[in-house]
Structure 1
Amino acid sequence: MSTQNNNKITVICANILDFVDDPAIAGDNAHRYFEKGALVIQNGKVVNLGYEQDILPSLDKSATIIRHDGKLVMPGMIDTHIHLPQTEMVGAYGEQLLSWLTEYAFPTEKKFTCEHYSKDISNRFLDELLRNGTTTALVFGTVHTQSVDAFFNESQKRNLRMIAGKVMMDRNCPDDLSDCAQTSYDQSKALIEKWHNVDRLSYAVTPRFAPTSTPEQLQKCTQLLEEYPDTYLHTHLSENKDECEWVKGLFPEAEDYLGVYEQAKMVRKRSVFAHSIHLSERELCCLADNNAAISHCPTSNLFLGSGLLNLKRCEEHGINVGMGTDVGAGTSFSMLQTGNEAYKIQQLQGQRFSAFKGMYLATLGGARALDLEGTIGNFAIGCEADFIVMDYAATSFLKFRIGHAKTLHEQLFAMMMLGDDRCIEQTYIMGKSVYKRDAKEQFSTTHTLQLEEA
């Protein structure tokens, strides 16, 4: 009986959009758009995609047809850099990176000594991701193992594809947030053994950034990456000019900021470096040569006054780039709003940033940055059926504005500029609806947090 149910065909009928390449490379051939399309799903995976008129007549009558007529179906969004513990402090006022860490980030992260708090924040965090149409994320935890345990536990319950790791810091941080090189290795190793490749979960070795790790701890990171070669490396790089100067003083033997990670042999495939704003030509070549990826975090870069990523240079070097909200320096879980800010950052540099580029970075671009193309990111046959239903009429003004759009690009651009979580009508995980706008959340939590004093 259960095998029969698992093999059942489900067909999603809607206007359907996905990407097969980067618009900067393939132009208009980078995307596929099926007006009145059909997405065929079996066992939680894509088995066919095309026009409704071509697909429906060929299906058995037992297939379940779900109609989202007039709506836009896209692959689920992929957030390539976000901080679980900073959920509580989104929108904290008035600092740049280094003082912001001291004033806001570190005190909030201390609360994750409490397992109850870790679980409640994990649930609120996941609720917000799904409400905003994000189905996969690369996530920073805290130094506390319970932050990762709680996050993976709650993600597993929801059958989500998530990547996360315990932060590793053994200097230049509060004493009660510091571990040591060996402890960070031991705890990370135990978490990898417990969670990596369990269901849809993956582990990321997570040194916070070079200033908070000794060379000994960075070597322990490399040891983990070599022992578990399909894990990820997730850290920060070249976000803030004062940070870059600090790194020069801490690592005078390194050629540049990326050189710190390079010397430790941490620049490789499945290494994702958040921000990467102030990079030299050598650093860009090094990232490209080693198949490492960048997470572009436009919202937080503007909020903290960190700088402007030159996306065109990344494209010229063939570096895989995804987008990250970087909550909580980023001020929205919405990848639409993140695309909005990405457009402005390129405008300030005299560069173009289309809606197609924004939607690509939020889907297939993110999958490529995470080395998950063919698993998530588009509707290629065999991909996991994580997708969203987007509503062009989510607000009366958006309906009015898009009603005057003459092309698909104009519609998408208006959605990216004016849209937010209200545009996400439903979020599907492995072919099953797990969030529906204006309905009671399937995964409800009390969100009544018993906050611990730091």
Structure 2
Amino acid sequence: MTSSLHAVRGELLHFTADPEDAGAAAFVHHHDGLLVIEDGHVRESGPATALLPKLPADARITDYRGKLILPGFVDTHVHYAQTDIIASYGEQLLAWLEKYTFPTEARFADPSHAGEVADFFCDELLRNGTTTALAFATVHPASVDALFDAASRRRMRMIAGKVLMDRNCPDYLSDTADSGYVESKALIDRWHGRERLLYAVTPRFAPTSTREQMTLAGRLFAEHPGLYLQSHVAENRGEVAWVAELYPEARSYLDVYERYGQLGARSVYAHCIWLDDADRQRMAATGSAMSFCPTSNLFLGSGLFDLDRAHALGVRVGIGTDVGGGTSFSMLQTLNEAYKVLQLNGQRLSAERAFYLATLGGARSLYLDGHIGNFATGKEADFVVIDPQATPLMARRMHNATTLSERLFVLMMLGDDRCVAATHVLGEIRTIP
């Protein structure tokens, strides 16, 4: 019988811990490495010289020498329905929703439009090396069906959900507390746990849900094992003030979600800028995660994320592109902006830690680190192949980079989709080199 093993050769890098805590012991690096894959999962990884002699003579080998192989990127916050409004001019959060987001999301009442955008969205993720995403759909159940169908055909890991929104939004995008619950429950039954797909209860944010809908969202989250919950919190100062008016009984914006049972393992909140330490401590204690979305925070003028305080208090943190308020599907470009946000906030982001956040850190924030995030034996073999010589400028700069840290930093500052030579999902190529 022909061997089922598939081996990939190149420069391997993956993380086993946060470099902020473990330093150089946090990552495994093989300049000439071999990733051995069987049935879509990692069988073994290590130096090519040690592993090549162990392969069967007929094992398939893909040679990526001269390129860097990393675990697939994990995007912990993105709006697939906002793909077509990326790079829209000149608003902050609340005006952005009214001017761009709501009219664009209305088009997803048409299943054919939802399907076309979902296909483009998934291909764009893969073209940028992202193999797992936590994504918002729209209020329309068909928008969720379209995204899960597109992800399933590409064998991607996708977490998504129908937006819940029953006030402070246009009538054409409003559901009700009851209809949102019923439609979400049907989608959970249809998709959650099917192949590599998982469902997220998705209240857009506290201002667009009534107390009744928030109660039912918390109920959904508690009723189904392994379910996710995603929303936004403390992105914009005007938004924070609005929440205080709508929920005067709450201590803080985050406290609104906790009052309705929406904090816990597998709950992920985008932005988390205007929080205090009491909020951060509640997120850490409940196992909730933050999605750091640097490009949208800068583009919408929202504020600067405090990674140091999140880390000091033990909060899980991943990286989100937040397209379409975010300005790039590229995780490399998103790490570029993360570095700058933290510089403005008087903090440092090493290149090693940046790539940790984009891979294993994201997987941990989604409680998926038992399945993805590094090349440990048994993990799903999702990975991205990066060409460090992708542009003349990068090639010239890399010629003068003498350490792994320096090369990684050049990648995140000068790199973009042009650096992605290939993306593999469960071991098989999903982009054309």
Measure, in 2, the Cα distance between the counterparts of 1:281 and 1:67.
48
How far 1:62 sits from its partner (Å)?
2.1
Hey, what's the Cα distance between the residues in 2 that align with 1:383 and 1:396? 35
Equivalent residue, structure 2, for 1:451: none
Q: How far is the alpha carbon of 1:226 from its aligned partner?
A: 1.4
Match of 2:125 among 129, 151, 168: 129
8 Å contact kept, 2:232–2:270? yes
- Which of 419, 423, 433 is matched with 1:423 structurally? 419
Q: Name the counterpart of 1:152.
A: 148
Q: Which amino acid aligns with 1:379?
A: F
Is the 1:207–1:235 Cα contact (8 Å) retained in structure 2?
A: yes
Amino acid at match of 2:220: L
SS of 1:173's equivalent? coil
Q: Does 1:61 align with 2:53?
A: no
Choose from 204, 207, 213 the match for 1:217: 213
Give the structure 2 partner of residue 397 of structure 1: 393
Identity of matched residues, %: 52
Picking from 22, 27, 43, the partner of 2:23 is 27
Q: How much has 1:223 moved relative to structure 2?
A: 1.2
Structure-1 separation of matches of 2:72 and 2:393: 25
* Preserved contact between residue 81 and residue 323 of structure 1 (Cα < 8 Å): yes
- The CA distance in 1 between the partners of 2:147 and 2:258, in whole Å, is 30
Say whether the 8 Å CA contact 1:90–1:329 is kept in structure 2: yes
1:339 partner letter: L
Contact 2:219–2:261 under 8 Å retained in 1:
no
Q: In the alignment, does 2:112 pair up with 1:107?
A: no
Give the SS at the match of 1:363: helix
2:47 to 48, 51, 56: 51
Residue type at the aligned position of 1:262: E
Q: What SS class does the counterpart of residue 416 from structure 1 fall into?
A: helix
One-letter amino acid of the counterpart of residue 92, structure 1: S
Cα shift readout 1:402-442 (whole Å, capped 9, x = no counterpart)? 111010010010010000000000000100011024xxxxx
Residue matched to 1:309: 305
Residue 254 of structure 2 aligns with which residue?
258
1:30 partner amino acid: A
In structure 1, the partner of 2:113 is 117
Question: 1:176 pairs with 162, 172, 176, which one?
Answer: 172
Say which of 299, 303, 317 aligns to 2:295.
299
Quote the Cα distance in structure 1 between the aligned partners of 2:59 and 2:416: 33
State the distance in 2 between where 1:255 and 1:54 align.
58
SS of alignment partner, residue 232 of structure 2: strand
Whole-angstrom distance in 2 between the partners of 1:350 and 1:213: 36
| Runs of at least 4 residues off by over 2 Å | none
CA distance in 2, matches of 1:59, 1:333: 37
Note the C-alpha offset of 1:229: 2.7
Distance 2:194 2:12 in 1: 31
Cα deviations by residue, 1:309-337 (Å, 9 ceiling, x for unpaired): 01000010111100000000001000000
For residue 185 of structure 2, what is the aligned residue in structure 1?
Answer: 189
Q: Which residue of 2 aligns with 1:231?
A: 227
Give the aligned partner of residue 330 of structure 1. Answer: 326
Give the secondary structure class of the aligned counterpart of 2:335. Answer: helix
Residue 138 of structure 2 corresponds to: 142
Q: Distance in 1 between matches of 2:268 and 2:78?
A: 12
Structure 1: runs of 5+ lacking an equivalent: 438-454
* Structure 2 counterpart SS, 1:139: strand
Q: Corresponding residue for 1:447?
A: none
Tell me the residue number matched to 1:442: none
Partner SS state of residue 129, structure 1: helix
Asked if residue 199 in structure 1 is aligned to residue 195 in structure 2, the reply is: yes
3-state DSSP class of the match of 1:315?
Answer: helix
Which sections of structure 2, spanning at least 5 residues, go unmatched? none
| Structure-2 separation of matches of 1:14 and 1:198 | 33
Alpha-carbon distance in 1 for matches of 2:23, 2:344: 23
Q: What does residue 280 of structure 1 align with?
A: 276
Looking at structure 1, the residues matched to 325 and 218 of structure 2 have their Cα atoms a distance apart, in angstroms, of: 28
Q: Distance in 2 between matches of 1:174 and 1:370?
A: 31
1:367-378 matched pairs, under 5 angstroms: 367-378=363-374
Contact (CA 8 Å) 2:159, 2:200: kept in 1 or not? yes
Give the Cα separation in 2 of the matches to 1:127 and 1:360: 23
Name the structure 1 match of 2:93: 97
Q: Deviations over 1:116-175 (max 9, x none)?
A: 100000011011101100000000000000100011111111111100000000000000
Length, aligned pairs only: 433
Contact 2:263–2:283, Cα closer than 8 Å, also in 1 = yes
How far did residue 375 of structure 1 move? 0.3
Which residue type is aligned with residue 398 of structure 1? M
| Contact persistence 1:374–1:380 (CA under 8 A) | no
Q: CA deviation at 1:227?
A: 1.2
Which of 320, 323, 327 is equivalent to 2:316?
A: 320
Matching residue of 1:163: 159
Q: Distance in 2 between matches of 1:262 and 1:434?
A: 40
TM-score by length of structure 1 reads: 0.95
Cα shift at 1:65: 1.2
Provide the rounded CA distance (Å) in 2 between the counterparts of 1:129 and 1:255. Answer: 38
CA RMSD of aligned residues (A): 0.8
1:397 CA displacement: 0.9
Letter in 2 for 1:61: A
Q: Which one of 387, 405, 411 corresponds to residue 407 of structure 2?
A: 411
Distance 1:298 1:63 in 2: 42
